[in-house]
Amino acid sequence: MMAEPRTRIDFTDPDVYVHGIPQEEFADARAHAPVCWVPQERGSAGFDDDGYWAVTRHADVMTVSRDSDTFSSREKTAIVRFGADMTQDRLEMQRYILLNMDPPQHTQHRAIVSRGFTPRAVTSLRAALQERAAQIVSSAADAGDFVNEIACELPLQAIAELLGVPQEDRHDVFNWSNAMIGQDDPEFSDGSDPIEPATSLLGYAMTMAEDRKTCPRDDIVTTLVNAEIGGEHLSSDEFGFFVLMLAVAGNETTRNAISHGMLAFMEHPEQWELYRSTRPRTAVDEVVRWGSPINAFQRTAKHDTVLNGQSIRAGQRVAMFYGSANYDENVFTDPHTFDITRSPNPHLGFGGSGAHFCLGANLARLEIDLIFNAIADQMPGITLAGSPARLRSGWINGIKHLPVRYR
């Protein structure tokens, strides 16, 4: 028999996040129904089923992440609707995205780009990104929107550089990626089919591919164009969705980590003073834990199984809530305290150490480190100048605008 959840809140509903992570509801779920069934009207969330299992404890998120024999990534991984209804075509398209692959296909595809994201590869970008971070911070005026002026820029420039997107096209890529992710937010979506910006980005990726076939460069697009699996090049869909995923993953996550981190620092001035004077290396991971920029990813049970005493049937969706796991009182001392010296800090902001663990974690950590160092150097007195505007999304824990006084 299914355990009756104490909470009927749908943790994937964008409205649940209007004031940030729903801490009380997650705490209640962790305490009373850590693997709880959340009913949804069939098809209402874009999936052809009637609900999902919400996994809210750190240990259970780890179990699901690590066990790809039981919990498949083949479909329904992202909490995002590809239009009003998830047609078969759209389900098929999702399968070209690395996030939605299982081994051995996943292992082969990930290997194509993984060398570009190792600690050593990322360290080689440090000097250039450090200079870029200093420029971004110095070009801000006296006051403005921290998200648009600072948080967005370094992640955009970094992923665009790696992919090989020329400077003049970078903001197009940025806008398409925003429109895909912000489909539940009226500021980024005009209600049109979210497949449109994806189509634009895919078309753009194809023009880059054509260019690299004749003019190879030292960039990820060239690596993908030349890549072979079992003697075959990637198909144009495989190639296009690879670029799309890297562009979106590179843009939409680190920016929110930086914005949440800045907000946390402004709300905890003693932590900002501590950061400015000691620059602890532990600060970056506390920023990611605190902000938990991705609310959740999902898996699908391949066969009947039991998770933390709860029976799960084959084919049912299982959503891992990182924003809950990162505040699990069984793992973190005083989880609701923003403590930039926290150590150890086994947060799951980058996922739960399974095969899909964030490919860009080293890059994201470097970007966060560099931007806060630049802010601390140049803007010691940065303060909040209004209310933050949060992204309306059940998937990304985002801040759209953050009014600040820089100097």
* Residues engaged in binding ligand HEM (CB under 6 A): 65, 98-99, 110, 159, 245-246, 249-250, 253-254, 257, 288, 293-294, 297, 322, 349-352, 354, 356-360, 363-364
Peptide bond connecting 388 to the previous residue in cis, omega within 30 degrees of 0: no
For residue 51, count CB atoms less than 10 angstroms from its CB and return exposed for 0-12, middle for 13-18, buried for 19 or more.
middle
Let me know if 50 is exposed, middle or buried by CB neighbors in 10 A (0-12, 13-18, 19+): middle
CA dist 115 → 77, 211, 255 (Å): 24, 23, 23
Nearest in space to 208 (alpha carbons), one of 243, 178, 174:
243
Residues ≥6 apart with Cβ < 8 Å to 160 = 167, 170, 173
Q: How far is the CB of 181 from ligand HEM (least distance, A)?
A: 13
φ, ψ for residue 272, nearest 5 deg: -65, -40
DSSP state of 100: G
Q: Which is nearer to ligand HEM, 132 or 356 (CB)?
A: 356
Closest CA to 133 of 113, 152, 154: 154
5 versus 263: smaller Cβ distance to ligand HEM: 263
Please say which residue, 36 or 61, places its beta carbon nearer to ligand HEM.
Answer: 61
Cβ neighbours of 257 (radius 10 Å): 28
Q: ∠ CA 327-328-333 to the nearest 5 degrees?
A: 80
User: Based on CB atoms, which residue is closest to ligand HEM, 180 or 249?
Assistant: 249
Q: Smallest distance, Å, CB 321 to ligand HEM?
A: 11
In the bound complex, what is the minimum distance in angstroms from residue 169's beta carbon to ligand HEM? 17
Count of CA atoms in the C-beta half-sphere (13 A) of 383: 3
| Closest by Cα among 355, 271, 332 to 71 | 355
- CB count within 10 Å of CB 236 equals 13
What tokens appear for 173 in the block? 């890529």
> Whose CB is nearest to ligand HEM?
360
Q: How far is the CB of 192 from ligand HEM (least distance, A)?
A: 26
Residue number, 9 or 396, with CB nearest to ligand HEM: 396
Which 3 state secondary structure label does DSSP give 296?
strand
Residue entry with tokens 């990813």: 297
Question: Closest CB to ligand HEM among 188 and 241?
Answer: 241
351 vs 394, which CB is nearer to ligand HEM?
351
Among 154, 144, 193, 192, which residue's Cα sits nearest to residue 174?
A: 154
CB of 242 to ligand HEM, least distance (A): 9
AA identity, residue 242: F
Q: Rank residues 5 and 354 by Cβ distance to ligand HEM and give the closer one.
A: 354
Rounded to a whole number of angstroms, the minimum distance from the CB of residue 1 to ligand HEM is: 30
* Minimum gap (Å) between residue 371 Cβ and ligand HEM: 11
**Rg for the chain (alpha carbons), in Å?**
21
Q: How far is the CB of 121 from ligand HEM (least distance, A)?
A: 12
Q: How far is the CB of 94 from ligand HEM (least distance, A)?
A: 12
Contact status, residue 372 vs residue 275, Cβ threshold 8 Å: yes
**DSSP letter, residue 117:** G
Nearer to ligand HEM, 66 or 401 (CB): 66
Least Å from the CB of residue 7 to ligand HEM: 23
Cβ-based nearer residue to ligand HEM, 16 or 245: 245
Q: How far apart are the C-alpha atoms of 30 and 35, rounded to whole Å?
A: 8
